[in-house]
Structure formats: structure tokens, C-alpha cells
Structure 1
């Protein structure tokens, strides 16, 4: 037994060792548990670990998440399909698709100064993304903006108690229309403009419009105006809507107008300092002149000699589209000394247009109606010419490089922006898929006409049945409907019809329809 005891003391280092030498501490398993939650046997005890077995699935598919997904399942399906289509577009057309106006936008982005033809809002958008030197990124952001427009339409409809399927249906044209997706892939201002307008409508449909909300509406309208000048009348339209909801009280509408007008005045001051001219652009007279050439008859107008040089002896039915009177080298205005958009030429063109409107007002109204009717055809006939029409189709071959000034200068600036070669690379089979999709999926113009006609008809039927007598507040459909109508009429009244000018009106028109069908009213502004 003594030997056994001595052996134990030897194994343990002896009594002295046990009494005087420190015993090694046990490993700190708490520390291991704290810093290594993925150690074997520890994961189940740490509920916060996102990759713990069974926990991630439980977190992602909690009852609340499942209920929300079920509630919005129609919209999530449409949104997901729209995202897939945009990914295919990005893969098939790299990095983006160029339009003749794109080069001017890039020049203004890299050399900030007001442009004579277009306001600089979209160019400033390009300038914000310029440090990344990627037109592919610009196209990606525009596709995300397009998806965001669909989200805004859906949110506005749901907030005003439209059914989920109806709200998803209202967002479907902007999310799934092939021409909308192609427009987002073009380096043009229309997608940004549409997003600003839809956001302003969403704010104006708030149940409580405070002064802060009114300020936000005004800033969005100002940004839209500085992106496309057709947005300028929207300020008066939104002010009228706020007055209507406020029963004539002007405070909220005044705040909105101030927020909308002040940035525009600031841009106008910048334009005046650059060109010593009043306005946002220097082409108003030129574009209105091109519009009147669709009907102007100098035998009826009897212009003075200085204006007679702008006459076209051909009958109106035999004349080219209005845009040819701005860009064609044979146009009377282009043949005048100096650039087309000089102060003198723009003033001369404006005087001619004013005389034509005074002399032939009914012909002007007929011309506007004819241009507006092009928005509502079932097919898409080629207009204004095959070249411009082709830019709105997914191409089978890369578009040719620009061949005339000022686009040639813009191409050089675009190479500086990209820091590399520019152009459009077409990659199959993705590009072919989008061409086939574009042949099949679009919103016909006749369907857009039905969407615009339906809201006032539904409202009229409801009033005729005297149901409106029991309702209070303001009909929510009226604002998006009026905005859509304005966006369609203004280009036809001031320049000419173009297919890309129709698309920004589609989301607000669809929103107006779903709101009119659901009868939502808004409370008066206190």
C-alpha cells in the first residue's frame, strides 16, 4: 500500500508539489463559447447565430414574413419577373444603348453649363455617377429606378386601400412593358423624369399633407422640370390639387409653389448668366416653329418679309415630320446665318409660330389632336422616321457611331466619361430573347386610351347613382389622371409626338384607374 501511495505521489508530483506548485488552470470554455459560437456542440445554444442549423430557416420564414409575402404575392411575382427581364437586358446589351441626345447629356455632365436645347437635370444625374466611369452602372441605376417606379405605384394604390391584385396590375405595365425596359437602357432622361413625377404624385396623395410634405412635392416638381421642361406646368397642376384639397386655403399650396419655383429660378439665373437670355433653354421658339410647320400656310398668314423666309411652299400634307425643320440641313431655319438656336433665330422662329397660331387656331388644334391620337393606336407605326423609331427597338446590330456635329464631340466626351471605348456590344442569346419579348409584350396605345377614359366614366357613373353624396373628401384618382393627360398633351402641343414621351404617362394613368375603380377618397387638408 505504501508503494501504491508513493506511486500516486509520483504521478501527481508529490505532496510538496501539490501544496507549493500552481496547478494549471482548466481551459476557459466560456471564452471559447463567447468567441467561437460555431464550435461543435455550441451552435444550438446560440440562437443569434444566423447560420445555426434550423435557425436561419426559422428566421427567414417566420409567420410574419410568410404572411407579408402572401399578402403581396401578386406584386412580388410581377416585380421579380421585371427584375429578371432587366438582368437579361443588361447581359444582352452592354453597357447601354445610345440615343442621339445621349452625347449632349454627357457633354453637359463633364462640362457643366446650361444647354440651349435641354435642361441639365439628367446631365447632373450622370455627373453624380461619373467618378465610377461606367455607363453600365448608369444603365443599372436606371433599371433600378424603373423598378422603383413600379414599387411607388403599388405603394400608392395599397395605401389607398386598393386590393393587392389590382395594385399589382397597375404596376405591371411599367415593370413588364418591353419598351419601358428598353427606354431604361437608353441613356436618356425619361426614366428619371418619370420617377420624379410619380414620387411627387405619391406625396400629393398622402392623407395628411403638411408643409414639409408640400415642400417635398415642390422640390420633386422642380427636379422634374429641370430634367424635362414639360414638367413646368406640373407646378400649377399640383398647386391646384392642394388648393382643392385644402378648400381654398393657400398656405400649403404656397409652400409647394415656392419649393418648385425657387430652384427653377436659380437655374434660370445660371442660364441668363451664361447666354444673357431669359428662360431655361434657348429653343422654345424653334420647337414651336417646327410644330406649326405641320399646318402653317403662308398664304393665310401673310407674314412680313423677315418671317417669309421661314415659309415652306409645299402643302402641309407633303411636308416632312416637324423635327426635320430643326435638324435637317435643308430646313428654312437651318439655312439662316448662325446656329439654329441663336438668340436671333429663336426669336424669329417664335414670331413665326405666334403668327401661325393667331392666323390658324383651328388648324393648330387639329394638329395637336392628330399628334395626340398617335399615342392611342393599336400598332406602332413608324414615326417620325425609321431612324428615330429604330432607337426604341432592341437592335439586332450595334447602332452606328455618331456621324455629325455635335454628337461627334459628345462621343469624345463619352470616352472620357467611360475611360475607354464606347458603343453597344450585343450578346446572344440574351439580346435575342429581349427582341422576341418586345415583339410580344407591350401596352398597346388603345389600351392606354381605355385606361385614361375609364376613371372619369367610373366617377360619373358613381355620381349618377348618388353614391358620392354619402362620401366625403376628394377623389384620389383625379390627380394622377390629370398628370397623365398633361404629360401626353404637352409634347403634342409644343413640339411633336414621340413614342418615348408616352411612357412616363403610363404609370400615373394606371394608378388613376385602380384608384377610380376602388373609390378611395382623401380627407381635406385641415
Structure 2
């Protein structure tokens, strides 16, 4: 009874504060405690509002039209899984790509909030948590990516949601004296992680290795108990297997996409030397006599009409062509493993350049810049066909309308507010280097002097997630600037976990922290 009375009095006190135009005591304390983050979040929200006002209804990428086609006519696509298309389908009754872009901006803000709250919850100092939220909230290229009708923002949100859930205390080890609800809560959280990873995989197939990564993490967190990992794997594989069955019903072959061999072939053509490979006659038709240094980027071997693969009969992504391309790529990798490794590392290094040199070509690079003039309508099939479905989705024109001065403000902002590749490299290196330094400083009594928060033990998962997302595209396809951005929030979270906290022994007694 006393508790109800106290809650009622607190309600009356807070209501009175609101009536007088003041923040209640608890709310005011929270605002003061998180004021720096709220400032960053507010600025990020304002920038996104300016973007929505400046570019209407949204910005288009060549892949966007395929996503819209699948949203209107649901079926597995041979090149891209249908997760993002189903996301678009959720908003199809509103007939507004502007709404889709606005929701993606909200997801971008959510990623920043997840980074900050998770960092604080696991003991990171406030300044580190705020800094970790800055790249996902304020990077101009991140904001531009959110305004593009592509899958990366949704993918990044799903991955970060899984990471933040996985490092939370809910999935931690179950102590012998703990209650059953705690164990049950951990299993429910593990199932949620699995569903998030499955959704990420069905949005971008690069998420599939995350199933193994998160399973290993749960086994580690549970001190060898595999039940949580088993629940997570089952929750992830059931939707993925269901999608594979849908794919089989459509194309009479199992898979999530039908282009893995094709993209890996494009990747290997950056180094493949048929004189070294000595391919069989059926594979030799895919050789390029030009030396690797004179060849175009990997994507041209997938899409260009000059590609040996594209010249083969039938569409590029038939089962036969994909299998042939996959066999060629496997032969190139096994016969030239060092060349393959060098190609992966050289592509990965593009993630860490101080500037943003044009790559893979000016056309693709231009899609990542806020335009000064309306982009031209698509000129390639099937984008021209997809544009018809897009107009049906919008129930009106889909041409990009540029409104000044808002668009000009974002172009100017993009010229100065971006995360350099060298900064990404530093962020990625901070956690392992800091962990190694603390091990070296560890005294004979085993005291490392590191932070007391749980985050100091949680950094491996977000760090490994970031590294995997950076490495996978160059390993199986090619580097692209937009593939770097989903890895940044996880890397920032890992770095925040390793930030030093002030020692209580070194703080004067009259200083409050």
C-alpha cells in the first residue's frame, strides 16, 4: 500500500512540474546526465530532416528498382535476397518513397541510440559512448545512404540490434544459484538474436557467417553451455531454410540467391591467370587474355556485355552459368591462393584510405554523393522495367526533386563532415591493441588496471562483427564504399567498451563523478 501511495505522490509531483512548464526531477536529471548525447542526437535528427526536405521523395540506386519489383511481385530474386523488398512492401499501402526514406532515417538514429545506450549500460565512460555514437549519427555519407533506397540501412540496424542484445547481461552466464526466469530470459534473448541474424541474412547474404559468430559468442558467454547457442542457431536457420525452400520452389535449386558463383568469378578476375590455372576447355571460355593490371573492376565481369561470362548463352544467373563461374573461381583460388589473398587485402585497404578516390567507377561513386542536379532516369534494363513498378508503388512520378537551400546545405555538409578511412582503421585497431596493452601491464596479482564495466569483456563480439562485415565483400565480390558503413557502428561500440575509466583512487574526495 505504501508503494502505491509513493507512486501516486510522485505522479502528482511530476504532473505539477509539467503543468508549470518544468521537467520533472527524474527527467531533468536524465537530460543533464545525457545532455551531450542528446545534443548529438538532436543534430543528427535535424540533418536528416534537412535531407528529407532537400531530396524528394528519395534517392535511387540501380539496385533500388529490382527491390521494388520484388516488393510488388514477391518472389526470390536471383541476385539479392528479398528481405529489403519485404520491408518496402510493408509501406506500399502508403504509396510514398518519402515515407520509406524517413523510416530509414529513423533507423539510422536508432543505431546511434543503440550504440550509446549499450556502451553506457556495460560501463563505458560517458565521453566514449557519446563519441561512439557520432559516426552513425553525423557522418554525411551515412545520412546519404539512409536516403538511398537500398538495403544497407536496414541491414545495419538488424546487425546492431543483434550485437547489442548479444552483449547484454540477459545472455550472460547462468550462475548455479540463479533462478529459472533468468535462464529462460537468456534463452528468449538467444532466440531473438537468431531471428535478427536471420533477418539480416535475408536482407544481405553477407550476414550468413554471423550465425556462426554469434553462436560462438553465446557459447563463450555461457561458459561452455551450448543450449543458448543451439536456440540461437535454430531461430536463425528456420527462417533461412524456409527462404531456401521458397527459392527452390521458384528456381528448382536450393540457395538464398543464384549469383554466388558469378560474383566470386568477378572477384577472381582481378588476378586470375589462365596460364597458371590451366583450366579445362569448358572453363577456358571464361578466361580474359588481358593482364590483371589492364582489366576493369570486378563488377564489370558480372554486368558488362564484354564479360566472357555475360557472352555465354542464356541469362548470366542461370544455374549452369553460376555453377560454371563458381568452378572457375574455385580453381583460380586454389591455384593462386597468394594472389587471391593479395587481392582481398588490396580491396580491404580501400576501406582505410584517408580520402575517397573514385571507385569502382564514376557512375557508382556518384550515387553516394548528394546530387546538385536531378539524376537521369535509368537507362539500363531491367532498371527501366523496374521504374514502371516504382511508379506503380508511388502512384505517381518518382523523379528526384531537389529543393534548395536544403539540398545545398547537405552538399556543403558532406564536403566537411565525413569519417575518413584512416579513422575507421584507428577505430578498428583500438580494441585489440588496448586489450593487448592491458595484458602486458597486468601485474603479478592479475590486476590489469582496465575499466570495471562489463564492456571490457564484451568488445570481441562487436569488433569481430565489424571486421567480418569489412572483410566479406572484398573476399567474395568486391569493395564498395557503402559496404563499409554498416561495419562502423559495431567498431565504434567495441572501441567505446575499451575506453579508460578514471580510477577512484586518483580522484579527490570533493570531486563528484
Where 1:517 maps in the other structure, the secondary structure is: coil
Query: Does the aligned pair in 2 maintain the 1:99–1:391 contact within 8 Å?
Result: yes
Q: Report the equivalent of 1:347.
A: 323
Counterpart check, 1:413 vs 2:375: no
CA distance in 1, matches of 2:501, 2:315: 53
Q: What does the per-residue CA deviation read over 1:249-284, in whole Å, with 9 as the maximum and x for residues that have no partner?
A: 110100001001110000000000100011100000
Q: TM-score, normalised by structure 1?
A: 0.87
Query: Quick one: which of 26, 39, 54 aligns to 1:64?
Result: 26
Cα offset, 1:245, TM superposition: 1.3
Query: Does the aligned pair in 1 maintain the 2:128–2:499 contact within 8 Å?
Result: no
Q: What does the per-residue CA deviation read over 1:172-212, in whole Å, with 9 as the maximum and x for residues that have no partner?
A: 00000000000000000000000000000111011131100
Counterpart check, 1:121 vs 2:97: no
Query: Quick one: which of 446, 458, 480 aligns to 1:469?
Result: 446
Moved more, 155-164 or 384-393: 155-164
Q: Report the equivalent of 1:24.
A: none
Cα offset, 1:165, TM superposition: 2.1
Query: Quick one: which of 106, 115, 131 aligns to 2:68?
Result: 106
Cα offset, 1:519, TM superposition: 7.7
Matches within 5 A, 1:218-233: 218-233=194-209
Cα offset, 1:168, TM superposition: 1.1
Q: Report the equivalent of 2:339.
A: 363
Query: Quick one: which of 470, 493, 499 aligns to 1:488?
Result: 470
CA distance in 1, matches of 2:14, 2:32: 27
Query: Does the aligned pair in 2 maintain the 1:98–1:423 contact within 8 Å?
Result: no
Q: What does the per-residue CA deviation read over 1:346-375, in whole Å, with 9 as the maximum and x for residues that have no partner?
A: 011011001101110000000000000000
Query: Quick one: which of 200, 209, 228 aligns to 1:252?
Result: 228
Where 2:228 maps in the other structure, the secondary structure is: helix
Query: Quick one: which of 253, 272, 275 aligns to 2:248?
Result: 272
Cα offset, 1:55, TM superposition: 5.7
Matches within 5 A, 1:72-111: 72-111=34-73
Q: Report the equivalent of 1:25.
A: none
CA distance in 1, matches of 2:48, 2:392: 27
**Tell me, which stretches of 5 or more residues in structure 2 are unaligned?**
1-11, 172-185, 503-513
CA distance in 1, matches of 2:360, 2:239: 34
Where 1:216 maps in the other structure, the secondary structure is: helix
Q: Report the equivalent of 2:490.
A: 508
Q: Report the equivalent of 1:196.
A: 158
Q: What does the per-residue CA deviation read over 1:10-36, in whole Å, with 9 as the maximum and x for residues that have no partner?
A: xxxxxxxxxxxxxxxxxxxxxxxxxxx
Larger radius of gyration: 1
Cα offset, 1:518, TM superposition: 4.3
Cα offset, 1:58, TM superposition: 3.3
Where 2:170 maps in the other structure, the secondary structure is: coil
CA distance in 1, matches of 2:305, 2:136: 37
Q: Report the equivalent of 2:92.
A: 130
Q: Which runs of 4+ in 1 moved over 6 A?
A: 47-50, 471-474
Query: Does the aligned pair in 2 maintain the 1:368–1:493 contact within 8 Å?
Result: yes
Cα offset, 1:60, TM superposition: 4.0
Distance change in 2, residues 1:49/1:511 (3 Å): closer
Q: Report the equivalent of 1:33.
A: none
Matches within 5 A, 1:428-447: 428-447=404-423
Matches within 5 A, 1:160-309: 160-209=122-171, 210-309=186-285
Matches within 5 A, 1:299-338: 299-338=275-314
Query: Does the aligned pair in 1 maintain the 2:267–2:477 contact within 8 Å?
Result: yes
CA distance in 2, matches of 1:260, 1:354: 28
CA distance in 2, matches of 1:175, 1:49: 31
CA distance in 2, matches of 1:57, 1:371: 59
CA distance in 1, matches of 2:216, 2:394: 44
Cα offset, 1:57, TM superposition: 5.1
CA distance in 1, matches of 2:253, 2:71: 21
CA distance in 1, matches of 2:501, 2:296: 46
CA distance in 1, matches of 2:239, 2:14: 50
CA distance in 2, matches of 1:366, 1:103: 34
Query: Does the aligned pair in 2 maintain the 1:475–1:519 contact within 8 Å?
Result: no
Q: Report the equivalent of 1:23.
A: none
Query: Does the aligned pair in 1 maintain the 2:247–2:256 contact within 8 Å?
Result: yes
CA distance in 1, matches of 2:465, 2:338: 25
Cα offset, 1:223, TM superposition: 0.2
Query: Does the aligned pair in 1 maintain the 2:125–2:501 contact within 8 Å?
Result: no
Cα offset, 1:59, TM superposition: 5.8
CA distance in 2, matches of 1:185, 1:486: 25
**Tell me, which stretches of 5 or more residues in structure 1 are unaligned?**
1-46, 521-526
